Structure 1
């Protein structure tokens, strides 16, 4: 491997005072005979769109790379991509939380963008469209967002995970107007990092998953694509990479320093850490203790046993039903949650939220219009209850939350009666 040589240049030094590139974060790195031009952008910035246009129109690149994965690329280029969403299958596979998280992140970005009449990710879309117009290859170099979120979630402790969840929830209720100058400051960070605000900066594992690992991943993808092109006898000499500016410094370092083969790095960074088993076993243990406590209560007298059983039914069924109603569920969906919730000991691995959501979909089947307007509806927090797709996700999540809360409250109540 050739020793990498680096030439990092500021656009300010290379452009005149009236040049649009003067204020744009820009770096150039030469590695293994390929010059990579890294353009740092804000994903909701007019200036970033113009900078992309300027670079592609004035410089001759052999390939254009963008900070997108396949899923985000399809969503960006096809506004009707959500129409293909199999909501029932997502719920059955336990992916409802991940889809809701993706929608929340999309809403955060789109809400920032709608003030200024610019499409979120417009600079990425512009880069792809100009590459197509010039018949240049388009390289999608970012890691799948679902893998990034899973690695981030599983990289932190149990209590720190509330920071991730609260960051997503807070992004839905933030309605303050954002000055365009503040949006330009997003060039100093990353959209995912911004969604979790200061928590990402205070948690090294979370920051590494959201930013550091993706710096390594995208740099390795650039090297991999260059090697693939060379193997196909279509070598590239100059590549433009349009990335969030929060990745500029990290990717510059990675392109200089990486020694491992890119395929191995990509495989490692694409691996999802296994979910911790102890929360599941604790949950099953708590459930077993409560069931035994109810059985023991009957040995102490029928009245005490009936009271314990009543507490279990009212707390688990009642709070599962309440969660369903808070999610905007139909009264029959809430009734289903009330009936199914207390039966958890007989189906410990089937979440009550999945049953309630299935009933909700049967009673209020999402229409084509709901899928088409999904991305726009979830921009405002009230739209989550208006759209039948997002409302079904809320029923699933809040019903499960109510059930878990009810389980622990019932356990405390029953044990207090026995003690």
Structure 2
């Protein structure tokens, strides 16, 4: 099968000068009767926007592919998407953590836009609009962000997972300005990759899931969408950091359908994670049993230790989130029990109670994207505060479980 990999340089304008976007990298690969033009963009560069429009408006392409999944495409194009959020459903389906991750990415993007006067993702929005204006089909070729995060999580040890998750969420509250060198790095990658760049540099597992796998996935999606449909030209708009890997994957002999199926699969969670909650339950109940067998006073002291420390730290987390007083009380009562129940977390209870007591208004959904940029917005916006209550009460309960457990061991020693 003939394959070609050639550069495609923008032509000089009538004055003989190269256009502003001439430095945007372009690679071409031809296989299966399809000529793929891969345009490497900087996600925060006006030149990239101009390059995208130039290529699509040239009329040379039969289809346009972009480095977005359906959920990120919806977030970029549908500003009313947050209005349809069902908080109770999200909490019940254990998706509150994923929702906070999405808010983290959105907040990071908006902080860049506010600080530097540039809009991350503008080149993708330009591709969407230009493709629609030119009546060209739009192909979303990136893997769903939820699948990427789950596959990433499955690869990490429990400690790296804990550091990554809490580091990302706690970074939301940072008041530090985004350094210009971070913006420069964005020109070589994308928002998703940059968010985890500090960890990816030190973790082969993160690099594989966030970068290498997505290169293979996007190449497979391009081939699956376009091969077997006759001769055609396809423009693929990718972050510059994905250009080399996607070109290499396009030239490989992997079956695209099988490749997509393999990379869309989420590996099962380690069995040890299923057993840890039950081990905690068994250990705590055994401690209670030993305590009461020695003396009722010791037994009740152990129970009080568990309830006060576990419930107290969870309630403290809810209070820091400025939850309703009833929600704080719910955290105090629920955490000692949920810590012994592998199927329910303290945050599920406190999040639901907070959402019920302080029902978000339509204005909270409409202003959610703007509010989460600033520290105070997480407490002002009722939607954001529900997730804040969920996270901090869960964090307090998790810390309380280990602190209370250590205290009980000392009493029994």
TM bin (shorter chain): over 0.9
- Quick one: distance in 2 between partners of 1:97 and 1:57? 41
Once residues 152 and 182 of structure 1 are traced to their aligned partners in structure 2, the CA distance between those partners, rounded to angstroms, is: 22
Give, in angstroms, the shift of residue 32 of structure 1.
1.5
Cα distance change, pair 48–78 in 1 and its aligned pair in 2 (3 A): same
Q: How does 1:259-278 map to 2 (within 5 A)?
A: 259-278=253-272
1:359 to 353, 358, 370: 353
Q: How does 1:377-416 map to 2 (within 5 A)?
A: 377-416=371-410
> How much does 1:164 deviate?
2.2
* Structure 2: segments with no counterpart, 5+ residues: none
Given the superposition, is the C-alpha separation of residues 273 and 14 from structure 1 closer, same or farther in structure 2, using an over 3 Å criterion? farther
The answer to whether the 8 Å contact 1:131/1:138 transfers is yes
Deviation at 1:18, TM superposition (A): 3.4
Asked if the contact 1:308–1:414 (Cα under 8 Å) also holds between the matched residues in 2, the reply is: yes
Are 1:11 and 1:25, in contact at CA under 8 Å, matched by a contact in 2?
no
Do residues 173 (structure 1) and 174 (structure 2) align?
Answer: yes
**Secondary structure at the residue paired with 2:150?**
helix
Residue 252 (structure 1) aligned to one of 222, 247, 265: 247
- Residue of structure 2 equivalent to 1:316: 310
Partner of 2:236: 241
Maintained 8 Å contact 1:5/1:29: yes
Residue 70 of structure 1 deviates from its aligned partner by 0.9
Select between 181-190 and 114-123 the one with higher mean Cα deviation: 181-190
TM-score when normalising by structure 2: 0.94
Q: Deviations over 1:304-358 (max 9, x none)?
A: 1121111111011111111111222111101011111222376431112111111
Secondary structure of the residue aligned to 1:243 is strand
Q: 1:171 to 1:361 in 2, by over 3 A?
A: closer
2:212 maps to 1:212: yes
Residue 299 in structure 1 maps to residue 298 in structure 2: no
Q: Using a 3 Å threshold, how does the CA distance of structure 1 residues 167 and 182 change in structure 2: closer, same or farther?
A: closer
Distance 1:368 1:148, change over 3 A: same
| Pairwise CA distance, 1:236 | 5.0
TM-score, length basis structure 1: 0.92
Write the distance in 1 (CA, Å) between the matches of 2:41 and 2:237.
7
Instruction: Indicate if the aligned counterparts of 2:310 and 2:336 stay in contact, CA closer than 8 A.
Output: yes
State the secondary structure of the residue aligned to 1:142: coil
Where 1:99 maps in the other structure, the secondary structure is helix
- SS of the counterpart of 1:64? strand
Q: Which residue of 2 aligns with 1:152?
A: 152
Deviation per residue, 1:127-182 (Å, 9 max, x gap): 11111111110011111111111111111222222442214533551532544x86
Residue-by-residue CA offset, 1:260-305 (whole Å, 9 max, x unaligned): 2211111110111112221331232122111111122112112211
Are 1:62 and 1:236, in contact at CA under 8 Å, matched by a contact in 2?
no
Give SS of 1:189's match: coil
Q: Is the CA contact 1:91–1:354 (under 8 Å) kept in the aligned structure 2?
A: yes
Aligned to 2:329: 335
Deviations 1:199-222, CA, capped at 9 Å, x for gaps: 212211101100111100111111
Q: Distance in 1 between matches of 2:290 and 2:121?
A: 60
Aligned pairs (5 A) from 1:275-290: 275-290=269-284
- CA shift, 1:255, in A, is 0.9
Is residue 136 from structure 1 mapped to residue 111 from structure 2 by the alignment? no
Q: 1:115: how far off?
A: 2.9
User: How far 1:80 moved relative to its partner?
Assistant: 0.7
1:14 positional shift: 11
* TM-fit CA distance, 1:4: 2.0
RMSD: 2.2
